[in-house]
Amino acid sequence: MSGATLEAYLVSCIATRDETARDMAAVIQRLATAALDIRKLVGQGALSAHLHGLRGGANSDGDMQKEMDVICDDLFLSSLQGAPVTFYASEELEHPVSLNPEASLAVAIDPLDGSSNIDTNVSVGTVFSILPAIKTADNNPMPTFLQPGNRQMAAGFFIYGPQTALVLSLGKGTEIFVFSSRLGCFVQGYKSVSIPERAHEFAINASNYRHWEEAVRLYVDDCLAGAEGPRERDFNMRWIASLVADAYRILIRGGIFLYPADTRRGYSQGRLRLVYEANPIAFLVENAAGAATNAVSRILDLEPESLHQRVPLVFGSRREVARVTRYHVDPTMIGERAPLFGKRGLFRA
């Protein structure tokens, strides 16, 4: 199937399936069309400087909104008008929007992920989750968006980088489509990506070291200790500070990403949002043979309590993610190694 256009791929996936699958394909096509508009805007960089300023407000989660965050949100929302979507929820909107009451799907979206990086020409993206719409007598969207991530029907992200790409999973494998400017559409670049079980690279914002809980500090200390430490091998470190870019790298060559809880005000549940960031990334990663947890439990099994809820996020190579859990739940992990390595934290030197 490598080399198929997104459209041909979607047709092949829905051929034997029902109306809901056809609707899902239509929604993904609409999102892809809006993403190509955003690709052009992002590509303008400083030439459209007015797009890159702060809007002066904060989004529902208290983050400063950039002009581009709002423009991207508007573009995705209008692209879904007339699509088979009942509810639309966005990082940029306090409340979900009701669209077509007859439809069976809902979309939760982070319209522009990594927007704090946009002036620095770092890859940014759009993260989305497609859920079955739950119908209630009062047309309440919340039961839909508070479903656990294991109910997602599809998830993906667009990345606007050196390549514009769509990482997509309909629940069986994770595919990567790259935008071909020659053909003017997305073309499958990787078929069923598989994250290697073992990691040699970790991604974490190490400036927060002093705010992390002990389990996270010890895990990172052990990676940093390299071949001479308990891991008995050297690790590389990367932190792009753009979730889509860090996730793309991990899907292509493995590794682990951590945005843990920490003691800073407002970070007791980490930084990333469960419904429209962690859930779709976890869905993609699990469908690529990886794992995603909140450091202890599987992300996809968490029951969201509110739309904009944050969650600690650890994802990537399966064995490495499991190891982070052991540092959190197994006291012997710390007890056994403390006499040997407890004083070796490089950041604590």
Binding site for ligand FBP (CB under 6 A): 63, 91, 110, 113-116, 205, 241-243, 271
Q: Which does 197 bind (CB under 5 to 8 A by kind): ligand FBP, Mg ion, none?
A: none
Q: How far apart are CA 238 and CA 259, in angstroms?
A: 13
Q: Identify which of residues 78 and 236 has a Cβ nearer to Mg ion in the complex.
A: 78
From the list ligand FBP, Mg ion, none, pick the one residue 63 interacts with, judged by a Cβ distance below 5 to 8 Å according to partner type. Answer: ligand FBP
| H helix count then E strand count, the chain | 9, 15
* Residue-by-residue DSSP string for 129-151: EEEEPPP-TT--SHHHHTS-GGG
CB of 110 to Mg ion, least distance (A): 4
Q: Report which residue's Cβ sits closest to Mg ion.
A: 113
Identity of the residue, 91 or 320, whose beta carbon is nearer to ligand FBP in the bound complex: 91
262 binds, options Mg ion, ligand FBP, none, Cβ within 5 to 8 A by partner type: none
SS3 115: helix
168: left (phi over 0), alpha (psi -120 to 50) or beta: beta
Q: Which is nearer to ligand FBP, 172 or 265 (CB)?
A: 265
Cβ proximity to Mg ion, 114 vs 255, nearer residue:
114
> What secondary structure letter does DSSP report for 210?
G
Interface contacts to Mg ion, rule CB under 5 A: 91, 110, 112-113
Q: Sheet holding 256-259: strands in order across?
A: 236-237, 201-203, 256-259, 313-316, 291-293
Nearer to ligand FBP, 39 or 344 (CB): 39
Tell me the H-state helices in the chain. 6-14, 19-44, 67-79, 142-145, 214-225, 243-253, 279-286, 318-329, 331-341
Smallest distance from Mg ion to CB 159, Å = 12
Q: Which residues contribute to the annotated binding site for substrate?
A: 113-116, 205
Contact 203, 314 (CB under 8 A): no
From the annotation, which residues make up the binding site for Mg(2+)? Answer: 91, 110, 112-113, 277
Minimum Å gap between C-beta 245 and ligand FBP is 8
| Alpha carbon 339 to chain centroid, angstroms | 38
**Considering the complex, what minimum distance in angstroms separates the CB of residue 118 from Mg ion?**
10
Shortest Å, Cβ 72 to Mg ion: 8
Binding site per annotation, positions: 91, 110, 112-116, 205, 277
How far apart are CB 4 and ligand FBP at their closest, in Å? 29
Of residues 68 and 261, the one with the C-beta less far from Mg ion: 68
Say which entry of Mg ion, ligand FBP, none residue 205 contacts (CB below 5 to 8 A, set by partner kind): ligand FBP
Among ligand FBP, Mg ion, none, the one that 147 touches (CB under a kind-dependent 5 to 8 A) is none
Q: Which residue is nearest to ligand FBP (CB)?
A: 243
Q: Token pair 């012997």 is at which residue?
A: 332
Would you say the C-alpha torsion 191, 197, 201, 206 has a positive or negative sign?
positive
Distances (CA, A) of 311 to 70, 107, 150, 231, 300: 23, 19, 16, 27, 12
* Least Cβ distance, residue 216 to ligand FBP (angstroms): 14
Contact partner, 188, from ligand FBP, Mg ion, none, Cβ < 5-8 Å per class? none
Per-state percent for the chain, helix, strand, coil, to nearest 5: 40, 25, 35
